[in-house]
Structure 1
Amino acid sequence: MSDMPKLLIALGVILIVVGVIWMIGGRWLPFGRLPGDIVVEKENMRFYFPIVTCIIVSVVLSLIGFVVNRFFK
């Protein structure tokens, strides 16, 4: 069996776990409302750019990729 099906299954399980944690802990996890996220509200417009949230998600995904890469070598 090649490594690609194992990788896809592992990524699917990780996504399911993250989704369940986000669904259950969504009230307590401040993702999307972190200090540093840019929110501009005018009378008829709202601009929202979660830059700090994007950085944290990027770091976490990079760490997961590093661990998966080490695991499959």
Structure 2
Amino acid sequence: MTEFSKLFITIGIIFIVIGVISAAFGKLPGDFSFKKGNVTFYFPLMTSIVVSIVLSLLFYVFGKIR
């Protein structure tokens, strides 16, 4: 396996873990949704922050390993 294929496998696993966590916990307390008529606007602020922190930590760890 090349480094490139290992990177794609790792990214895929990260997305699967994020999907499972998101499905398990649903909407986080900092996520906003506004509904007016038949228009709904959803802004996942807290989810974005959590995903950003997790990805930053993972990339930091993988950077230190190399």
TM-score, with structure 2 as normaliser: 0.75
Higher helix fraction (1 or 2): 2
Equivalent-residue separation in structure 2 for 1:49 and 1:21 (angstroms): 17
Alignment coverage as a number of residue pairs? 65
Equivalent-residue separation in structure 2 for 1:37 and 1:25 (angstroms): 12
Gap regions ≥5 residues in structure 2 = none
Find out whether 1:29 has 2:42 as its counterpart: no
State percent identity of aligned pairs. Answer: 37
Q: 1:1-73 alignment to 2 at 5 Å? A: 5-6=2-3, 8-16=5-13, 18-19=15-16, 22-23=19-20, 26=23, 28-30=24-26, 33-72=27-66
Higher strand fraction (1 or 2): 2
TM-score, with structure 1 as normaliser: 0.69
Root-mean-square deviation over aligned CA pairs: 2.6
Equivalent-residue separation in structure 1 for 2:16 and 2:63 (angstroms): 22
Which has more radius of gyration? 1
